[in-house]
Amino acid sequence: MQEGLVSERRAGRIPDQLLLLEHDPVFTLGRNARPDNVLLPADALRERGFEVFESGRGGDVTYHGPGQVVGYPILDLSPDRCDVHRYVRDLEEVMIRACADYGIEAGRVAGLTGTWVGPDKIGAIGVRIARWVTSHGFAFNVSTDLSAFDLIVPCGIRGRGVTSLERLLGRPLLLDEVMDRLASRFAEVLEREVASEERREGD
Amino acid sequence: MADVIMPQMGESIAEGTVTKWLKNVGDRVERDEPLFEISTDKVDAEIPSPAAGVLREIRVAPGATVAVNSVVAVIAPEADAAMSAPTPATAAPSAPPPPAPPEPSRTPPPTPATPPPAVPAPPFVAAPSATRLLAPPPVEYEIEGEPPPALPAPATPPAPAAEPPAATPLPAGTPRAEMTAEELRLTRSSPLVRRIAAEHQVDLRSISGTGIGGRVTKQDILGHIEHHSAAETATPPAAPAPAAAPVAPPRSPAPPPPPAAGTSAPAPGIPAGARVERTPMSAIRRKTAEHMVLSWHTSAHVSTVFEIDMTRVDQLREKHRATFEGRGVHLTYTPFILKAVVDALKEFPILNASVDGDHVVHHKDVNLGLAVALDWGLIVPVVHHADEKNVLGLARAVNDLADRARAKKLKVEEVQGGTFTVTNPGVFGSLFGTPIINQPQVAILDVGTIEKRPVVRDDAIAIRTMCYFALTFDHRLVDGADADRFMARVKQSLQEFDEAAL
């Protein structure tokens, strides 16, 4: 679905998009994924209800599932934002500001892409770019089942943990509300305006 | 031979890692076809081929990291070396973003497959470029030095970011030697004063100066202008943006000369002794007049008229009117029409382009200008990025711009950067017109009056809400077929309007 949107965006037939959604439990492997970062064989994972999927994005392996907002910005970065580092930092910034909205101080860790609260990662990033049109994007833990991350080495980074808004705040949160926050912070950081919104069920 | 290089994906990025080759050595590859993938940090990027030909050599294997700009592969042109033009290294060392306007300096692709077709000589005399047209005869202005700043030539390509090109002063007017001492004294005011005079087309000699030696000071001239412009619009005459000039309703471009006051010199063609009154034109009138004539001489104006059944739009308006009012938005026909226009422009982008000499400037954004008739003249506020709005968004934007236009609260950028204009003299009862193009655009759509008419449907007479839409287009760039296909799409969009677009 993203590929279709990317070519539509590149052809200029649609404007920049931000898709925010929730996935069924799945482990995705990016282009740089090392197989030993998935700690159980695929069959075993499937038995436990997880799908395993190879993705065209950058980055190593990560988990998506209920309680996590996955954001797919389909943006044309040209002409003035043609800098992948900048784009990645911008995505981190979006999540940092969204955390701040909940009173949580999040930040970056030099050399480790993503949004961190202390030693734990709350937001992951994996982007694909074709002719400066972006796809894939970021994943933000709201009330994700964090035990799923025990089955992988997230993003290939050993020795660090993961966290979520719910864990940090000690209370449940509405995903819709967090999506709104992310959308508005996204518009702010990427200097765009939300022109219209659409909600869809299913996929 | 074309070198394929490791692109630079960001300012501070010095290297990249090849992750995958999408083509094998010996494969044919087209220009811009995805050729390989690289990875940097958490970003995986697909890199298109800089040239068409055959992938002759891959120098960097997957997994290897090389410095930005190093050669990772080589592409050979398909035909013999003798036939192909010498191929440059990839045009830009940075990653291949699609630049908005086609750059005249980009060298052509090396494949000699199809030689560029010879450009046929235009069947009509090309219009003189705007700067030449607007160079006034020096004698008329009699202000030493710069004549008034010209409207910028449509030949200047408007940047996609709609930055107005700087107004270029034309070469000097009356040589000093020919002026009398008196004239010299009077006209030798400071450059600032002379420029203000030029901008407002004031003859300095008509102002009494309070400066040294009777010079006209800044205060003198500003006072003079204020005194004479009390009733005029505040539109700054120096704003050089091409899209700033308003569009006249589709009437004949030569109105009868206005009654003039006072002076003995009658307007040309009026017999001496006739009762006339001469008044100077307001700034907005002057700019409109200049723009109309300039446009007429620049574009090859052709009009095509379509009749569109607005009954469905009528129904949707009725259905959604209350909801929109509830959101503070008055729902007229306009946003429906704009939406149809935007969709058709996306499908036929040649009508959203501009001409620059012998180049076509393709605008990535659709910025719709909407002509608004004010008490004191015409203005064309622009809905920027109209292609990103649904009907609600367009309705809001239009209402807001119209309100602020009437209150004289538009910002400069809101009357600039348009890529297509819609005008609606139908509100005054006109069936359809033949509007003049708003330079440097290449088309303008005239919406006539919307009224019920008897029409034939399924071999019976039915009463439907009908409207004539007249498109004037610039035949230098747009052919009749393009224009008619565009209009057919507008017609279809409106007659079968998609309710989901609200």
Domain ranges of chain B: 2-76, 129-158+166-230, 288-501
Q: State how far residue B329 is from chain A, nearest Cα, in angstroms.
A: 16
Per-residue pLDDT band at B460 (split at 50, 70, 90): very high
A203 falls within a domain: no
pLDDT in tens, B419-457: 999 998 888 889 999 999 998 999 999 999 999 999 999
* Closest Cα in chain B, distance from residue A136 (Å): 10
CATH 1.10.1450.10 at B2-76, yes or no: no
Residue B176 has pLDDT above 80, yes or no: no
Give the CATH number, domain containing residue A40: 3.30.930.10
ipTM of the complex: 0.79
Of B2-11, B173-182, B262-271, B274-283, minimum mean pLDDT range = B173-182
Q: Comparing B2-76 with B288-501, is the CATH topology the same?
A: no
Confidence of residue B394 (pLDDT cuts 50, 70, 90): very high
The tokens for B270 are 């009026």
For the residues B462-491, what does the mean pLDDT come to?
95
- Inspect the interface and report whether the beta carbons of A83 and B10 lie closer than 8 Å: yes
What is the number of domains present in chain A? 1
Q: Is the pLDDT of residue B141 over 80?
A: no
- No. of helices (H) and no. of strands (E), chain A: 5, 10
- B479 is a catalytic site residue: yes
- With contact defined as beta carbons under 8 Å apart, do B448 and B432 qualify? yes
Residue A196 contacts B where some CB pair is shorter than 8 Å = yes
Assigned domain for A37 exists:
yes
How many Cβ pairs within 8 Å bridge chains A and B?
107
Window from B191-195, B289-293, B458-462 with minimum mean pLDDT = B191-195
Cβ-count burial of A11 within 10 angstroms (0-12 exposed, 13-18 middle, 19+ buried)?
exposed
B181: pLDDT strictly greater than 90: no
Q: What is the pLDDT of residues A186-198, one digit of tens each?
A: 988 988 877 777 7
Confidence of residue B154 (pLDDT cuts 50, 70, 90): very low
Instruction: Give a yes or no: residue A171 inside a domain.
Output: yes
Residue B443 phi/psi, 5-degree rounding, is: -160, 155
Q: What is the CA radius of gyration of chain A?
A: 16
Integer Cα distance of A67 and A52 in angstroms: 18
Whether residue A202 lies inside any domain: the answer is: no
Contact A23, A12 (CB under 8 A): no
**Domain containing residue A182:** 2-189
Distance from CA of B109 to the nearest CA of A (A): 18
A51 has which bridge partners? A26
CATH number for region B129-158+166-230? 4.10.320.10
Rounded to an integer, the average pLDDT of B323-339 is 91
Banded pLDDT at A116 (limits 50, 70, 90): very high
Query: Cβ of A85 and B11 within 8 Å?
Result: yes
Q: How far is CA B76 from CA B29, B71, B193, in A?
A: 10, 14, 63
- Domain at B288-501, CATH class: alpha beta
Judging contacts by C-beta atoms under 8 Å, the chain B residues touching residue A57 are 42, 44
